Structure 1
Amino acid sequence: MDLMASDLYVNLKRRPLYCSLNSRRWVAQMTLGINALHEIGIIHRDIKAANILIDVRENVRITDFGLSYVDKDEGPLDRQRNYSADAMGTTHTMAPEVLRNRSDPRPWEYGAPADWWSLGCVIYQLVSKKHKSLFVTGDDIFSYVSWCSSRDEPSKQFPALEDYLISGLLQPDPSSRFGFAEVVNHRSFLSKAGTSEFTNAYSRALERQEVPSSLPDLQRGQDTSTAEIWFPQPSWEESHVPDVDWVKPTLFSSL
């Protein structure tokens, strides 16, 4: 496994322009990752910027499966089927059908579309000018759901609806919400030459060169001889990550 340089949440705060430049490629990779999880029977249930790691090749990886639903039949998940009623996730990216189960005495079951709602929330953070969450509280989400069913309120309240991809993912009705097919075929991922960001996405991700400057400072500013020891590595085991000494975690000078 590649050493993870950082996560999307940190980069949105510290390097917003960097995130904007990579947004289309990263969204495509997240889309492929979510679909891969659904294909093996997993609803992540906590897709958010902090759970999207960025590796040294500047590709994204979905992490933290502590709140995930795992289907006993191991998938693939049926888009129209409901699997769980547990209110799992982080509020600002939680789908309304999941969120309502926090207070509803008769919880409703939901399915894989919950992850696509969360992706819509992450995309909004990536492409919005301030790179902030569209929703903060549960009330914000329920106000949005109410707004979607009303024609009386000003459209400027939710500017995300100006983006057809985001509005499709943030469709309150799970049965009408965008899923994998709708995202893959969306015009947002087409280049001027007419090629899609999804074309050969896996191979292009693997072919990307590492960016040594993006590696985390394992030494934490300390001298090599005094760097903190995380755990001793048995002499018969080889390091899982090249160019990193896990006995004294500091980058080798060759980098």
Structure 2
Amino acid sequence: MCVCTTSPGRCFAEEENPEAYARRGLHIQSEVEAYRRIGHACDYRKPGFEFLMQLEGLLANRYVDAFIFELMYADLRMLLNEGSIHRGNCPRMLAQMAIGIATLHSIGIIHRDIKPENILVDAKGNVKITDFGLSFVTKLQCPIPAGYDFTERGENNWQRGLVGTREYMAPEMISMSKTILEVDYFSLGCVFFEMLTGKTLFDIIDFELEQWIRAWNGGKSTQLWYLSGKIPNMDPRDPAIDLLRGLLCVDPVHRYGIARIIPHAYFLSEQDHQRSEFDFLEDAYNRRPIFNVIPEDSFSGTSTRYTFIPALRRQMLHDPDVYSDP
């Protein structure tokens, strides 16, 4: 069943097709492993964890599991579709996404499906990364080294192929099925482009990505020429364009990671140019709400809708056998 909400304080359960649930078995397993890891590692003294969705509970029967999460206002896809993302809020939201991704990497998780549908937004405009059904979780909780390729093998030496949503996949995932932490930053670049323009960068997937790869190989001037055709009235000196190019770098070795993102000029505060949006992360939940009410349906049709039931986190975060159904 799916837990949904239509107004504050109300929730209901929807039955889900058992066959569809069976097909999602692998995704469920990955998601449980990821939420268990996040729950064990969570330390709110570190700013990144507050931008990761935490599992609050579980509803389950023989056929389906429904995860229960904190109530959020909308997903980023819906806000983008409605044009509700003010350009001035982009640096703060992108900083939260970036530090959230870096926090995942620091505890041994590669998300592999960063996209607007998987970024939830609360009433104060703060983000939480969710949906870990396609994530890779290391066996031990430890930081993931840059560039390290995790090859997944299962029974009969089966190897997992392409993972993610193709419009947001990094070139190395599409061409070589690489699971490296850098794929999340390329996906973040695709999301950033949508926040700037309201459009999907690689909407004609293979053709558009191939055009970008050619532009990248042609050097900076060719890259800027390509982006100028995608971004109206683009100023090539805008720090946002440099950040976008860095995140969309075709070569993962030179792609911007968190070490290059944090000091970037794009995140400098408009009020205090000596401080970055990363300096204000701890103040995120002290902000005034920018959305006043929970709308009837503020989520895109392709994302899960979440509600919140105050309760202790379920034993499933600690007990791997909780999913066995007699």
* TM-score class normalised by the smaller sequence: 0.7 to 0.9
Task: Give the number of the structure with larger relative contact order, counting CA–CA contacts within 8 Å between residues 6 or more apart.
Answer: 2
1:36 is matched with which residue? 103
> Is the CA contact 2:216–2:223 (under 8 Å) kept in the aligned structure 1?
no
Whole-Å separation in 1 of the counterparts to 2:137 and 2:295 = 32
2:147 is matched with which residue? 80
Q: CA deviation at 1:157?
A: 2.4
Indicate whether 1:99 and 2:179 are aligned. Answer: no
Q: CA deviation at 1:124?
A: 0.8
SS at match of 1:198: helix
Alpha carbons of 1:196 and 1:212: their partners in 2 closer, same or farther (altered >3 Å)?
closer
2:7 is matched with which residue? none
Match of 1:178 among 237, 256, 272: 256
Alpha carbons of 1:239 and 1:143: their partners in 2 closer, same or farther (altered >3 Å)?
closer
> Is the CA contact 1:47–1:118 (under 8 Å) kept in the aligned structure 2?
yes
Identity %: 34
SS at match of 1:174: coil
Q: CA deviation at 1:154?
A: 8.3
Alpha carbons of 1:155 and 1:169: their partners in 2 closer, same or farther (altered >3 Å)?
closer
> Is the CA contact 2:112–2:136 (under 8 Å) kept in the aligned structure 1?
yes
TM-score relative to the length of structure 2: 0.60
Indicate whether 1:123 and 2:198 are aligned. Answer: no
2:78 is matched with which residue? 10
Indicate whether 1:45 and 2:120 are aligned. Answer: no
Structure 2: runs of 5 or more not aligned: 1-68, 152-159, 298-307, 312-326
Aligned residue pairs: how many?
Answer: 212
1:253 is matched with which residue? none
Indicate whether 1:65 and 2:145 are aligned. Answer: no
> Is the CA contact 1:11–1:19 (under 8 Å) kept in the aligned structure 2?
no
> Is the CA contact 2:212–2:223 (under 8 Å) kept in the aligned structure 1?
no
Q: CA deviation at 1:92?
A: 1.1
RMSD: 2.4
TM-score relative to the length of structure 1: 0.75
> Is the CA contact 1:48–1:118 (under 8 Å) kept in the aligned structure 2?
yes
Whole-Å separation in 2 of the counterparts to 1:26 and 1:123 = 10
Q: CA deviation at 1:73?
A: 2.0
Indicate whether 1:132 and 2:199 are aligned. Answer: yes
Indicate whether 1:198 and 2:273 are aligned. Answer: no
Alpha carbons of 1:213 and 1:92: their partners in 2 closer, same or farther (altered >3 Å)?
same
2:215 is matched with which residue? 147
SS at match of 1:185: coil
Q: CA deviation at 1:166?
A: 0.5
> Is the CA contact 1:2–1:55 (under 8 Å) kept in the aligned structure 2?
no
Q: Deviations over 1:47-103 (max 9, x none)?
A: 0111110012221111111111111122210013111463111111110000124xx
Alpha carbons of 1:239 and 1:44: their partners in 2 closer, same or farther (altered >3 Å)?
closer
Structure 1: runs of 5 or more not aligned: 102-106, 219-237, 242-255
